[in-house]
Amino acid sequence: MLICICIASEDHDERVYLIKNVVKKLPYCNYVLLKRIIEHFVIVTDFEATNHMYATNLAIVFGPTLLQPTPGPASFATTMSNLGHHQNIVKYLILNYHYLFDVECDETEKDEEDAKATATTVESPTTPSLKE
């Protein structure tokens, strides 16, 4: 598995560079979908103080799903043996989102502001009294 070779690199910068090369080789639709999913995870981690969903926790939950091998007789054993690699890769995707997907910080900040605006509750105007 090519992605496991990327994560095996000892040098952090080389590891992120290798992951970026693999991500760029994805078919366009898969690339856009992965980018959107990881973008959502980045927004979730912006609220990690409240929701306790740190990059590591998200990687534990979603790593095996996002990096599932093709179905086959040995796929379960392969998945179990690569769990740690899957978690590390998803964590690197989240923590290095801006570099891996060539996203400017301004774009993400706008999306985060939109998410925060949606998360806050808006008070409804009071209804007039019927006793008048």
Question: Is residue 27 one of the residues assigned to a domain?
Answer: yes
The number of beta carbons lying within 10 Å of the beta carbon of residue 42 is 21
Q: Is 9 helix (H, G, I), strand (E, B) or coil?
A: coil
Number of domains in the chain: 1
Q: Kindly state whether residue 24 falls inside one of the protein's structural domains.
A: yes
**pTM of the prediction?**
0.70
Structure confidence by residue, pLDDT tens digits, 50-65? 999 999 999 999 988 8
Asked whether residue 128 is domain-assigned, the answer is no
Q: Is residue 51 left, alpha or beta, with left meaning phi > 0 and alpha meaning psi from -120 to 50?
A: alpha
The pLDDT of residue 132:
45
Distance of alpha carbon 118 from alpha carbon 121, whole angstroms: 8
Look at residue 129 and tell me if it is in a domain.
no
Q: Give the structural domain span for 22.
A: 12-106
Question: What's the token pair of residue 107?
Answer: 């774009």
Q: Is the pLDDT of residue 78 over 50?
A: yes
